[in-house]
């Protein structure tokens, strides 16, 4: 089965994704401070001949993917096609069977600190207040200050001392976005981060992600099942089908993008391509366990 | 119509019941009624003092024992035993639970042994305990410690194992590992479960202490009640029972307070949810 969020498509006709008045002021206020910390730019990602199997079932088969520094790539495909697995391989959450991944020509593992991931569920630690969640994994005396700055970039400065439990789904994802950005990643991986949000919140988030991407210049890889979302945000839309890349479509539209004939044409082309293949419904793969060096943890 | 008038009076009763001041008094209504009936029954001679002394006599006994300092002495002795036993047993339970929960090797090595011991009722060991420790303090401490060990051990183990895997994965990919991962993610994630074990243990702690103190003691609430039984002082026996109830309630209130402090982030403990 497929979810292409007809709801959102219908809605987006009336409200272009660029329409985000709410966070704009907070964003601008934080801009001079943010510029004091120089953006580190995006990383060039190169994946060659990636394959991954779970038991006897192949999930990815000889996938090649090259992403230029600072490029925004969206991966679409039916559920179970392996698009999330590809992202987890790039994130280092799972080991590749064959093939290799490089960042700026180096092995992926050497750039672990440059890669941050945003999950479908925000995965905030419920026992840490919002600010401490954003500061997770930060060291140094200015950790709190940096977290505060990141929080203001997503327009949530006033919720710094709240528990995650009292936030809405959209606010949680904004906190998760701040938590990722505070590490100034050079590659940001987005694993359907907006999948669980309502249509209006998603449109807001599109604008926020686009603006922060433009400001920080990181390379972005978005996995989504929503073709409209992919076309609205990405420079390139990559379709994964039958465990390999079936379509690699440039989106040569000016930003911020509004819906129009050109937008619709690209969206339609990708959508038709997705729908042309009868879907095979396969269960999502079980997440693997990341080995930890010294002790074998049971958790 | 009769039906609507009933529902209207129901609604007004409902409103009255939900008022804050009434809410505070209401839980005490039932005990007060029972006590009054009991007092009346004793005064009317329907209840023999040998079976059950009147509440007023229990109160008087409580007062005289307090004035003579006897209650203070016994309560202090019992509380000391309870706390030391709880500290030893609970501390070991926590430690071993953390160990077996965290490391597979420790689980393989220890867990099945502990599960076997767990199935032995602590009180079945009394004869052995008396042989080992004689009838002095250590026998009582051992019984209490053994009893409180398992609820805390099991819940700690379970708590560690049921920490959200997604959170651990996230924390690792954000650069946390080792001690940091443990103190910031795994331990806080298992606190709720550990506290369930603590509350359960506190209940068991008093039960075991009562039995331990009735075997052979020179002081303590259990000793006081056993002594009073020999002299048919039913009022003093009831004072002892009352003391156990009060101390048990106190321990539970403390544990609840701990829960409120440690789990203040939990959705169930939010003053009011807002979005």
Q: What confidence category does residue A118 fall into, taking pLDDT thresholds of 50, 70 and 90?
A: very high
pLDDT score of A288: 52
Q: Which residues of B touch A91 (CB under 8 A)?
A: 173
Test B275 with A168 for CB contact under 8 angstroms: yes
| CA–CA distance, B150 with B93 (Å, rounded to integer) | 6
ipTM over 0.85: no
Per-residue pLDDT tens digits for A37-70: 555 788 999 999 999 998 888 889 999 999 999 9
Q: A148 to each of A117, A153, A157, A179, B61, how far by Cα in Å?
A: 20, 9, 7, 10, 63
Test A296 with B105 for CB contact under 8 angstroms: yes
Helix (H) / strand (E) containing B128: helix B126-133
Within a domain: B268: no
Res A222 pLDDT > 80: yes
Within a domain: B87: yes
Encoded tokens for A174: 């904004």
Per-residue pLDDT tens digits for B74-94: 999 999 999 999 999 999 999
pLDDT score of B130: 86
Closest to A249 measured CA to CA, from A258, A263, A259: A263
Helix B70-102 and helix B55-67, axial crossing angle in degrees, nearest 10: 90
CA-based nearest residue in chain A for residue B105: A296
Distance from CA of A272 to the nearest CA of B (A): 35
User: B123, exposed or middle or buried, with CB in 10 Å at 0-12, 13-18, 19+?
Assistant: middle
Distance from CA of B113 to the nearest CA of A (A): 19
Calculate mean pLDDT across residues A133-148.
Answer: 92
| CA–CA distance, A3 with A18 (Å, rounded to integer) | 23
Encoded tokens for A161: 């001392």
Q: Which residues of A touch B266 (CB under 8 A)?
A: 126-127, 165
- What value does the mean pLDDT of chain B take? 87
Sign of CA dihedral A105, A108, A111, A116: positive
Range of the domain at B78: 55-263
Q: Which residues of B touch A112 (CB under 8 A)?
A: 175
Calculate mean pLDDT across residues A125-154.
Answer: 93
User: A76, exposed or middle or buried, with CB in 10 Å at 0-12, 13-18, 19+?
Assistant: buried
Exposure string of A194-211, with b = 16+ CB inside 10 Å and e = fewer, is bbebebebbbbbbbbbbb
pTM over 0.90: no
pLDDT score of A208: 94
Q: B49 to each of A70, A242, B33, how far by Cα in Å?
A: 89, 86, 20
Q: Which residues of B touch A183 (CB under 8 A)?
A: 174-175
| Residues of B at the A interface, defined by Cβ within 8 angstroms | 101-105, 107, 160-161, 163, 165-178, 184-186, 188-189, 191, 264-267, 270, 273-275
CATH of the domain at B190: 1.10.3720.10
Q: Could you state, in order of their start, the residue ranges of all structural domains in chain A?
A: 6-274
Sign of CA dihedral B190, A85, A216, A168: negative
DSSP output for B69-93: THHHHHHHHHHHHHHHHHHHHHHHH
Count how many domains chain B has: 1
Which numeric CATH code is attached to A6-274?
Answer: 3.40.50.300
Nearest beta carbon to residue B167 from set A113, A125, A295: A125
Encoded tokens for B249: 């309630």
pLDDT beneath 70: ranges in chain B: 1-9, 271-275
Contact B61, B54 (CB under 8 A): no
């Amino acid at each position: 089965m497929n979810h292409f969020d007809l709801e959102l498509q219908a809605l987006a006709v009336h409200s272009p994704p660029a329409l985000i008045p709410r966070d704009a002021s907070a964003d601008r206020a934080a801009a001079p401070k943010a510029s004091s910390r120089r953006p580190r730019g995006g990383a060039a990602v190169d994946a060659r001949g990636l394959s991954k199997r779970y038991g006897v079932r192949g999930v990815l088969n000889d996938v090649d993917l090259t992403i230029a520094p600072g490029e925004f790539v969206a991966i679409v495909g039916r559920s179970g096609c392996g698009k999330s697995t590809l992202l987890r391989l790039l994130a280092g959450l799972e080991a590749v069977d064959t093939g290799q991944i490089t960042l700026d020509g180096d092995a992926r593992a050497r750039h672990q600190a440059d890669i941050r991931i945003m999950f479908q569920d925000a995965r905030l630690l419920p026992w840490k207040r919002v600010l401490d969640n954003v500061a997770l994994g930060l060291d140094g005396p200015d950790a709190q200050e940096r977290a505060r700055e990141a929080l203001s970039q997503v327009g949530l400065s006033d919720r710094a001392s709240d528990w995650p439990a009292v936030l809405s789904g959209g606010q949680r994802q904004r906190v998760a976005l701040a938590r990722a950005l505070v590490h100034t990643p050079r590659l940001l991986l987005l694993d359907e981060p907006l999948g669980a949000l309502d249509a209006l919140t998603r449109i807001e988030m599109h604008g926020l992600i686009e603006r922060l991407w433009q400001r920080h210049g990181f390379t972005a890889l978005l996995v989504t099942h929503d073709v409209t979302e992919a076309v609205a945000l990405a420079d390139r839309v990559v379709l994964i089908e039958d465990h390999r890349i079936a379509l690699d479509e440039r989106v040569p539209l000016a930003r911020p993008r509004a819906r129009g004939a050109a937008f619709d044409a690209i969206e339609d082309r990708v959508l038709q391509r997705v729908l042309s293949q009868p879907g095979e419904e396969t269960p999502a793969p079980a997440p693997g366990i990341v080995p930890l060096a010294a002790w074998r943890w049971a958790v | 119509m009769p039906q609507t008038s009933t529902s209207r009076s129901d609604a007004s009763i409902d409103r009255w019941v939900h008022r804050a001041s009434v809410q505070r008094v209401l839980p005490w209504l039932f005990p007060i009624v029972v006590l009054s009936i009991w007092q009346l029954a004793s005064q009317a001679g329907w209840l023999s003092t040998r079976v059950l002394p009147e509440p007023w006599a229990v109160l008087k006994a409580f007062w005289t024992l307090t004035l003579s300092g006897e209650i203070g002495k016994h309560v202090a002795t019992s509380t000391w035993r309870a706390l030391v036993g709880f500290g030893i047993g609970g501390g070991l339970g926590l430690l071993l639970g953390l160990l077996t929960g965290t490391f597979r090797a420790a689980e393989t090595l220890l867990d099945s042994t502990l599960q076997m011991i767990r199935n032995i009722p602590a009180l079945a060991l009394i004869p052995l305990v008396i042989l080992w420790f004689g009838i002095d303090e250590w026998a009582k401490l051992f019984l209490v410690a053994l009893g409180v060990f398992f609820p805390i051990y099991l819940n700690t183990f379970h708590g560690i194992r049921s920490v959200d895997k997604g959170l651990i994965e996230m924390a690792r990919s954000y650069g946390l590992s080792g001690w940091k991962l443990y103190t910031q993610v795994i331990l806080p994630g298992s606190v709720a479960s550990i506290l369930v074990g603590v509350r359960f243990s506190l209940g068991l702690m008093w039960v075991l202490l009562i039995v331990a103190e009735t075997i052979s003691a020179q002081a303590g609430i259990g000793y006081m009640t056993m002594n009073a039984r020999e002299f048919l002082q039913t009022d003093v026996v009831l004072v002892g029972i009352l003391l156990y109830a009060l101390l048990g309630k106190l321990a539970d209130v403390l544990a609840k307070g701990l829960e409120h402090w440690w789990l203040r982030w939990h959705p169930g403990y939010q003053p009011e949810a807002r979005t």
